[in-house]
Every structure is written in C-alpha cells, then in structure tokens.
Structure 1
Amino acid sequence: MGKDLKRWIAAAALTVAAATQAQVLDEALDAPARAHVVNEFARRLTAQHVDPARAKAAADDIRQRLARGEYDQQTTARALAIRLTRDVAAIAPDRHTYLEYVPYDLADERQRPQPPVQSADNFGLHKFETLGAHIGYLQISRFAPLTRPAADAAARFMDQAADCAALIIDLRDAGGDGQAMGALLSSYLLEDRRSYFFKDKQIHLHDQLDRSGRVVEEFWTSADVAGRRYGGMKPLYLLVNDRTSGAAEAFAYDLQQYVKRAVVVGSPTAGDARVSVKQRVSRQLQTSVAMTRASNVITRANWEGTGVQPDHMTAPEQALNAALALAQAAIGR
C-alpha cells in the first residue's frame, strides 16, 4: 500500500470520526423527540419538584408552548436545553432546575467524564495562615463529600486554628454539595450554649425537606472529632460573596443563626438552598429538578433566592480587611 493511500485512509478515518463526534456532540431532535423531552420534563417537574405550585405552573406552560409549536425551531439538544431552561426559570426560578445538555452520550459510560480526584485540592481545604497577632485565616474553596480521608484532612486543617485568639474563614467563591463536611467543620466551632448546666454534645444544624415537608436528611455536629477544637466562644468571622453557594451557604447560615456564633462579612451569597436530582431524558439531555430544600433548625427558614445576608456588609474585595479590623478590635490588639 502506497504512502499516499495510507495518508488518505488515515484522513478519511479522522473525517468519519470527526463527523461521528459532531453528531454525538449535538443530538438532532425531530418533532416526536422534542415532544418526549418536553412532556417528560413537565412530568418530572409536577411529580418531583420541591415547590409543587410553581413547578406545576412551569410544566403547564411548557406543554402549552409545545402545543403552539414554539419549540419547532429547537431541532438540536443544545438549542432545546437553552430554550426550555429559560422558559421554566421564568416561572419556577432556582439554580437547580433546568434541562442540561452534555457533549457526550449519556447512555455510554465510557464517554462520561471521569470525576475529579477529591484529594487533589485537599478536599477544598485550601490554606491556613496567621494574620498579625494570633488571628487565624482559613480559606475553603469547596465543601467536598465527607469521607474518612476528607475528615482526616479537616482535622489537620482545623487543628491549626485551635491556638488562635480569633478566626477568619474565607468562603468567597466556595461552593460544593458537601453539607456533611460543613456539619463536621461546624463541630470544631460550636458548643451548646442553650443551657449553662446541661450541654448536648451534638447540635442539630439544619434538615433537608422534601415537597411534603418531610425530613429526608438531618445535619448535626459531631460529638467526637479528631484533633483540637477552636471552640464555641472565641471570635469567628466568615467572608462571603455572591459566588458563595450550596454547602458553603449552609455552613455560613447555620453558624450565623446559632446564637450569632459567627459574624458574616461581605456581600449576599448566591441563594442556593436546594438539592437536585439529575435524570437522563435523551441521549444528550438530562433533567435537573430541585427535590429538597434546607430548613435551619432555629429559623425554620433558609437562604433560597435571598442569599445569606452579611452582618457587616462590604465589597467582597474589602471583606478580609474589614474582618481583620473587627477581629483585632475584639481581641484588643
């Protein structure tokens, strides 16, 4: 076989592979396929969403739009995902409810991206340092799922703060779904202050409730933790901004509400207090529907939509300086 022919075959193979990949990258949807996606999304909204009234209104709306032919021009997975997400969000806005397009075949496990290695960034526990006279600074980039290695990393991370006179925890840009990690970290920062004589070893922080108000998951501090605790009395400051989301918001809200344990500094957070479930609906589309909502044990409310409101409002880029000044004043330095 000549070299030119070999090169042509190789080029042809690459062309076919590229064409196949292009087809996979944006699934074509005919009228029946679009109807299936819209109706199935509407069904899941009605049956599963944590806010039944708004979800039903959104489901009715997209069914009516389908019947009027408003989705006739959305002939690919990507285009339909953008349009349906926009239409649903106009009636039932939340960060967890949308139609998601993915650039691979959901039915083929080999094409799914590999999940990130959780320990690669020390489970989101970014750094510890001291600022001036005995003021600790902890930076958290995300709240990872709580595993034994993650708990061990949290113990090493929090142990460094035990000798500090004041502590600043930086949650700016932090997110993640690890609410259990947030509860574990809270264990190093809280103690029962409801009674002078009788102190519980564990503190109930918040729950996740389903659409009927039933508790589906509880989050408590741990009675026993590895390493030393910072304690429940020394000054504590949390830095937040509009990209502080998910489990980071739960952590901030719980510490703020429990007898004002923490002073929150910065700007309002993202307002993300729900948890979703994703389900495949076509080769390249999956629905994401918010199925539970947080409920703080003290307020019986959450931060959905409004965000955690800072006690000391300031521009996020100035939050560290503001918290440092507050900490220095608190410890008399």
Structure 2
Amino acid sequence: MGRTRWITVAVLMCLSNGAGAQAPMPALDEALDAPTRAHVVNEYARRLTAQHVDPGRAKAVADNLRQRLNNGEYNDQTTARLLAARVSRDVAAMYADRQTYLEYVPYDLGDERQRPPPPVQSADNFGLRKFETLGDNIGYLHISRFAPVDRASANAAARFMSQAGDCAALIIDLRDAGGDSEAMAALLSSYLLVDRRSYIFKDKQIHLHDQVDREGKVMAEYWTTADAPGKHFGGYKPLYLLVNERTSSAAEAFAYDLQQYYQRAVIVGMPTMGDARVAAKQRVSRQLQTVIAATQAVNLSTRGNWEGTGVQPNRVVTAADALNAAIAMAQASLKPKR
C-alpha cells in the first residue's frame, strides 16, 4: 500500500510539472493611462536632452517627441509594449542611433525576482569558438562575441590565442560577431600588437581607445594587457580580419583599433554595423526603461570612431567570399620575395 501511494504521488507530480512546462506565465504588458504616457515621454525627452552624447541632435529629437505627445499621437499606445515600439520608431526616424530607444521588458523592473537569470558566459567558451590551421601554416580563429572579462574568460582567451602563436599568418573571423565587452577586445589585441612607436623603448601596454561623454570626459579607457599569459602571435606577421554588416559593437572596436594602429590588420569583407556608442539604461515605469547613448568611442590614433559609417574594409568583398579572399592574400604575403 505504501509503495502504491508513493508511486501515485510521483505520477501526479510529474503530470503537474508537465502541465506547468506547457503553460508558461504570460509576459506582462503594463497598461498605461494618459498621465503615465505623458510622464514616460516627457521624462525620456528630458533624459535625452540631459544625457545624450550628441546634445544638439538629441534636443531636436526630444522636442519632436514632446510635440507628438501634445498632438495626441501617442493616445492609442495604451500599453508599455505599444508605447516603446512607437517612441523608438519616432526616435529612429530622426536619428539612426542604435543605442538610443525606449525599451520594453516582459517583467516588472522593480521586482528582482522576475529578472531573467544572466546567460552562462562559458556555455560557448565566451564566444571564442574555433581554431584551425588552413594550410601553409595560416591560422584561423572564429570569434562570435566578446564576453565580459573575468578570471575564467581571461584564461580561456589565453588558451585560445596561444594556439595561433606559431602560425605564419592569421585570419580572425568576426562575421556576425558582437558583444558589449570592449575590455575583451583590448585583451585579445594584446596577443596581436607590440609598441611600434620606437625601436628601442617599447611600452608593454598600448592605449587603444576611450569611451568619452558629451563633455569630453573619459569614462572608460581600453589598453592592451602587459605580459598577457600564453604564446603571442605578435605585432608583425600578416593579420586579416573578416567582417560583415552584422559585425557590431566590441567586435567593431577590435577591428577598428587593429586597423588603425599602424595598419596592423587588413580588414576583409563588408562595412560593419557602425555602433561605437555605449548606452545608459534607467527605469521609467514598471516595464519601460530609457536607453540613451551616453558615451562614444574615441580612437587614440585617429581621434575618431566608426559610428554610423562602420569599419571600412581594406578589401571589399561579399561576406561569403571574405575567407577565400583573406586566404589568398595571406598566401601571397608568405611567398618568398624575389
């Protein structure tokens, strides 16, 4: 009897769990009355004017949003999801800034228990996906994203980059790569750069770029790492980076910095996405947060960045042809000079 009872309980628990898995909790969609809509739009406009890295254009966008609100254009956006979509569309129509929009999230921002767990960074080896030798001792590294730097990801980076240390030439595939960690981009650059400003006195660290706010204040600096562990590819052997129109953010920083530092890397493919800014996010209602580009990259060599234009390839080819083109260029560079 006791055994039968426990089996029955176990079956009921399995059925209950299965039913729960088939019926997930529906995403929240906050209802917004007129005063709340006005608060959200006006507060977003205020933050745009006060925080955006490009204050002149941001003020024009903010004034446009206020005018639309006064004209009743947001009267039909009665939920958080609808208002976020409409306001973001209006912002983009005036200013194509990928780091500036009104964001809807499907949970209560004020309840930490509802926030989704962060992704497991090591699940894909921190975006450090693949190494192989293509022939003629040409190394191939595939990076899908630039993960945050901590002890585990730094150790993975050392192992990953060390594999290419003895290669005669190196191709790094950044097609479709993204990620927010410019720190990881700087760390990986440590394996590919040496100080070329002097033949005698060489610094162990190279200042690549900064993130700078609207007043010119440096909010973050990105340097190569002194004595990064593992074997280094070095700063002189042929290096090629593959990019496409979906290469974005930290991957663009990596490509731009290596291209501009004494033309260290040859960029092959199509112009990248053109996203050189970092956004600040602030809650404005239960399910809405303002996203505003608060800083932008400034490269130490060019004093510019890739915002809007993207990183421009040295060799423009379709994304599908980029690898073959880079292999041919690498092979040509390795042929003995006559």
Structure 2 match to 1:229: 232
Distance 2:25 2:50 in 1: 35
Please give the TM-score of this superposition, normalised by the length of structure 2.
0.91
Q: Over aligned residue pairs, what C-alpha RMSD do you find?
A: 1.5
- Aligned: 1:42 with 2:45: yes
Structure 2 match to 1:6: none
242, 251, 254: which one aligns with 2:254: 251
Structure 2 match to 1:183: 186
Distance 1:59 1:93 in 2: 14
Structure 1 match to 2:170: 167
Structure 1 match to 2:158: 155
Distance 2:156 2:33 in 1: 50
Cα distance, 1:319 vs structure 2: 0.3
Cα distance, 1:107 vs structure 2: 1.2
Distance 1:59 1:270 in 2: 25
Structure 2 match to 1:27: 30
Matched letter for residue 127 of structure 1: K
Distance 1:216 1:137 in 2: 34
Distance 2:115 2:46 in 1: 26
Structure 2 match to 1:202: 205
Cα distance, 1:223 vs structure 2: 1.4
Alignment of 1:66-77 (within 5 A): 66-77=69-80
- Aligned: 1:318 with 2:321: yes
Distance 1:210 1:90 in 2: 24
Distance 1:141 1:217 in 2: 24
Structure 2 match to 1:305: 308
- Aligned: 1:239 with 2:242: yes
Please give the TM-score of this superposition, normalised by the length of structure 1.
0.92
Distance 2:185 2:78 in 1: 43
Larger mean Cα displacement after TM superposition, 85-94 or 284-293? 85-94
Distance 1:196 1:123 in 2: 35
Alignment of 1:118-133 (within 5 A): 118-133=121-136
Matched letter for residue 258 of structure 1: Y
Distance 1:156 1:49 in 2: 39
- Equivalences, count: 316
The DSSP-based 3-state class of the residue aligned with 1:139 is: strand
Q: Per-residue displacement from partner, 1:218-251 (whole Å, max 9, x unpaired)?
A: 1111111110110000000000001100000000
137, 142, 146: which one aligns with 2:140: 137
Distance 1:63 1:100 in 2: 18
| Structure 2, unpaired ranges of 5+ | 1-18
Cα distance, 1:197 vs structure 2: 1.8
Matched letter for residue 248 of structure 2: S
Distance 2:214 2:125 in 1: 35
Cα distance, 1:323 vs structure 2: 0.2
Distance 2:326 2:227 in 1: 30
Cα distance, 1:91 vs structure 2: 2.1
Distance 1:110 1:217 in 2: 31
Cα distance, 1:92 vs structure 2: 2.6
The DSSP-based 3-state class of the residue aligned with 1:278 is: strand
Matched letter for residue 103 of structure 1: P
Over 3 Å off, 4+ runs: none
Q: Per-residue displacement from partner, 1:59-81 (whole Å, max 9, x unpaired)?
A: 11101111111111111111111
79, 83, 88: which one aligns with 2:86: 83
Structure 1 match to 2:283: 280
Cα distance, 1:21 vs structure 2: 5.3
Distance 2:142 2:162 in 1: 14
Cα distance, 1:200 vs structure 2: 1.3
- Aligned: 1:114 with 2:117: yes
275, 290, 294: which one aligns with 1:291: 294
Q: Percent identity?
A: 73
Distance 1:102 1:202 in 2: 40
The DSSP-based 3-state class of the residue aligned with 1:90 is: helix
Distance 2:37 2:149 in 1: 39
